[in-house]
Amino acid sequence: MSRFSAITDNPHQRGFSQKTGILITNLGSPDAPTTSAVRRYLREFLSDPRVVEIPRLLWLIILHGIILRIRPAKSAKNYQKIWTEQGAPLITITQAQQQKLQQHLIRLGHQDVIVEMAMRYGNPSIESGLTKLREQGVTKIVVLPLYPQYSGATTGSTFDAVSRVLRSWRWVPELHFINGYHQQPDYIEALANSIAEDLTANGTPDKLVFSYHGTPKQFLNWGDPYYCFCMQTTRLVSERLQLPEGLAVSTFQSRFGKAEWLQPYTDVTLTEFAKQGIDNVAILSPAFSADCLETLEELEEENRETFMHAGGKHYRYIKALNDREDHIAALAKLVIPYLSNKA
């Protein structure tokens, strides 16, 4: 075999039509709902300097000396509550999104498009997703992190991971990175549709709570736009549905540690509502494109218990957009401008 024969394996030598790869990404889940698997996952997640921005040496001592000794067992029990026969809900839902987005684009005439999925932490990894696309001969890659509202801790971290992988490639393909879509009309429409369907089926609650994943308040002080983008999403959906003034409120969940996080806090707000006699709430989390631990366990179970214990009577969770057809159509609208052949 000639020492140059391997060159013919490269897309630029094959001479076939240009292909575009789309990589949809999300945060990730442990490989199993066990203490050891959760520990591996949390080690990777909490070691990301985008996620925890305190002096590195101090944080590593806290992480390995305290958190990874205590938190995995508790988190594993929570994962066990939501785990299905197919595995982690976030993974299986993202797989469904991948398949439906592929089919949707083909129906629109985009035959030379390949959709893969990856997780920022855990499996399948960003590296494996990009490698799959390269092996299928793509000459252009569109990365779509499924975080509607940009944050450095999520979208920014995904960019870091993609960059690290591509630094090792001899031939870097044309790259497009979509860094958010909190105002995209089709995303707002899909959110509005999901809420309208719930209101039609279950009636209008006293409060409609838009619960976003929290971040440390210091991130906002340093210039992270996430808080503002969350507020804009709530406003746009409220305007689209013509909700009565005061019905919709924005809160932030999943805080961790002793530092101040974005407020108002979801659990504190629910408790205050119940004590004020506001005993009928519906809650959704627009920052999550797929249901996961933070929605299925924290919102649907833990915060329900918080609200009911404080005196609330009616509590319901409106599911994430998941693989709804209008959600898939919204994702397609985001990537179509970057495809080789526009429909």
Q: Transcribe 249-316 into DSSP letters.
A: EEEEE---SSS-BSSSBHHHHHHHHHHTT--EEEEE-TT-SS--IIIIIIIIIIHHHHHHHTT--EEE
The neighbour count for residue 5, using CB atoms within 10 Å, is 8
Q: Is 174 helix (H, G, I), strand (E, B) or coil?
A: strand
Is residue 232 within 8 A of residue 182, CB to CB? The reply is: yes
DSSP state of 102: H
At CB < 8 A and 24+ separation, what contacts does 165-171 make?
165/126, 165/127, 165/130, 165/131, 166/130, 169/134, 171/10, 171/11, 171/12
Residue 140 structure tokens: 């252009």
At 258-310, the pLDDT tens digits run 899 999 999 999 999 999 999 999 999 999 999 999 999 999 999 999 999 99
Mean pLDDT to the nearest integer, 6-30: 74
CA-to-CA separations, 261 to 214, 298, 304, 334, in angstroms, rounded: 6, 17, 21, 30
Place of tokens 């920052």: 287
At 88-126, the pLDDT tens digits run 999 999 999 999 999 999 999 999 999 999 999 999 999
Q: Is 208 helix (H, G, I), strand (E, B) or coil?
A: strand
Domain residue spans in the chain?
35-82, 185-317
Residue 213 among known ligand-binding residues: yes
Q: Per DSSP, what are the bridge partners of residue 213?
A: 253
Find the angle CA(145)-CA(163)-CA(135) to the nearest 5 degrees: 80
Flag whether pLDDT at 164 surpasses 70. Answer: yes
- pLDDT of 340 reads 65
CATH number of 185-317: 3.40.50.1400
- pLDDT of 14 reads 53
The neighbour count for residue 6, using CB atoms within 10 Å, is 10
The pair phi, psi for residue 180, each rounded to 5°, is 155, 165
Q: Transcribe 33-48 into DSSP letters.
A: SSHHHHHHHHHHHHT-
DSSP state of 10: S
The residues near 211 (Cβ < 8 Å, ≥ 6 apart) are 250, 251, 252, 253, 266, 283, 284, 285, 299, 303
At 177-236, the pLDDT tens digits run 999 999 999 999 999 999 999 999 999 999 999 999 999 999 999 999 999 999 999 999
Confidence band, pLDDT 50/70/90 cuts, at residue 18? confident
Confidence band, pLDDT 50/70/90 cuts, at residue 16? low
Is residue 122 within 8 A of residue 28, CB to CB? The reply is: yes
Q: In what order do the strands lie in the sheet with 314-317?
A: 248-253, 207-213, 280-284, 314-317
DSSP state of 243: P
Average per-residue pLDDT in the chain?
94
Residue 309 among known ligand-binding residues: no
pTM for this prediction: 0.93
The pair phi, psi for residue 31, each rounded to 5°, is -70, -25
Confidence band, pLDDT 50/70/90 cuts, at residue 324? very high
Distance CA 102, CA 22 (A): 9
The pair phi, psi for residue 162, each rounded to 5°, is -60, -45
